[in-house]
Amino acid sequence: MTQIVVLPHPTYCPDGAVLETVAGQTVCDVLLQNDIHIEHACEKSCACTTCHVVVREGYASLNELNDKEEDLLDMAWGLEATSRLSCQAIVGDEDLVVEIPKYTINHASENH
């Protein structure tokens, strides 16, 4: 089993969380399955940046970024060197620590 530690976020996960999962799932799917309702406006099709997360630990264990994800990340709010779209970040065998940024670039969001 792989563990994902989600750092506290005022809206999606106020107390933070420690989640158990298996390799091969996306970070977004793991969050959603555990009632952390991260935005995913494009329904996980790699067409927006609303599911952006920053991987604080375990980044190297994730699958590689493809060109489309890399291009989209350039538009994400709060981009960092270890940013990923959670709908594209596939969990490996290493534990992860992820942070959901405070803001997203989603003009249609209901969570403002």
Query: Any idea where the domains of the chain sit in the sequence?
Result: 2-99
pTM of the entire structure?
0.91
β-bridge pairing 83-85 and 17-21: unpaired
pLDDT single digits (tens) 17-28: 999 999 999 999
Half-sphere exposure (Cβ direction) of 71: Cα atoms closer than 13 Å: 5
Average pLDDT, the chain: 92
Per-residue pLDDT tens over the stretch 18-59: 999 999 999 999 999 999 999 999 999 999 999 999 999 999
> How far apart are alpha carbons 106 and 4 in whole angstroms?
25
CATH number, span 2-99: 3.10.20.30
